[in-house]
Amino acid sequence: MEDATLVKLTETFDFLSVRASGDHSALNCPANKLFEVAQSLRDDFGFDLLVDVTGIDWDAASPRFSGVYHFFSTASHGYLRVVANCEDDINPQLPSISAIYPAANWHERETFDMLGIRYSGHPNLKRILMWDEYPYFPLRKEFPLAGIETDLPAPDVVETTQAKVKSAPMMGGPFVSTRSGPMSQAEPRARDESWTESEEKPTEPSDEAKR
């Protein structure tokens, strides 16, 4: 994207600040101004396509959650990233822009499903990937990849099968390809193959025990 648009944007909205970015232009935006900015981006700046809505969990940092928006202009062929921090770390909330960009509807539902960011003004804010009663937000930092044991959504199926949502066996995983080179030699494998769920990781004698 041309710098001119970025300059014009920061001039029009003095609360916007340029954000460090490795690729496309990026801006920081206060959460309460997001709707206004999105409206202007579509109507005045030609960003007619909302490519992606997602979020980031910064773990221990505060503000903990950020909403990330990628806009695209089909006229100037440029991307713009807008990041808005959620003020509340416990109950993160952002304004919904699905009234401006209908594409945001499902994206915001997904971000809510995965990170628990609530979008105020969303017409139908419910989970989109996990089932409605699922008690966790899987992409939050404290959530383990293997999952947490909980109940399946259908009581009758649970009654006949005794099935549960169980945490997946990690077997020393997660399974990643650590080596470069031909794929035949870089098969994904567990980083630490010394333990499985049945054979626990051998604990190294601590320094105190050595003494």
Q: Print the binding letters for residues 17-56 with other proteins: x by CB under 8 A, - otherwise.
A: ----------------------------------------
> Does the footprint of other proteins cover residue 152 (CB under 8 A)?
yes
Query: Among 61, 75, 163, 186, which residue interacts with other proteins (rule: CB under 8 A)?
Result: 163
Measured CA to CA, the distance from residue 118 to residue 90 in angstroms comes to: 11
> Does the footprint of other proteins cover residue 176 (CB under 8 A)?
no
Query: Among 102, 121, 123, 144, which residue interacts with other proteins (rule: CB under 8 A)?
Result: 144
Measured CA to CA, the distance from residue 73 to residue 45 in angstroms comes to: 8
Q: Which stretch binds other proteins (CB under 8 A): 2-10, 36-44, 64-72, 162-170?
A: 162-170
Burial of 193 (0-12, 13-18, 19+ CB in 10 A): exposed
Tokens encoding 83: 């990041």
Select 102 or 188, whichever has its Cβ closest to other proteins.
188
Closest CA relative to residue 71, chosen from 100, 48, 97, 45: 48
Q: Print the binding letters for residues 111-140 with other proteins: x by CB under 8 A, - otherwise.
A: ------------------xxx----x-x--
50, 101 Cβ separation under 8 angstroms:
yes
Measured CA to CA, the distance from residue 176 to residue 155 in angstroms comes to: 36
What residue ranges bind other proteins (CB under 8 A)? 129-131, 136, 138, 143-148, 152-154, 157, 160-161, 163, 165-171, 173-175, 188
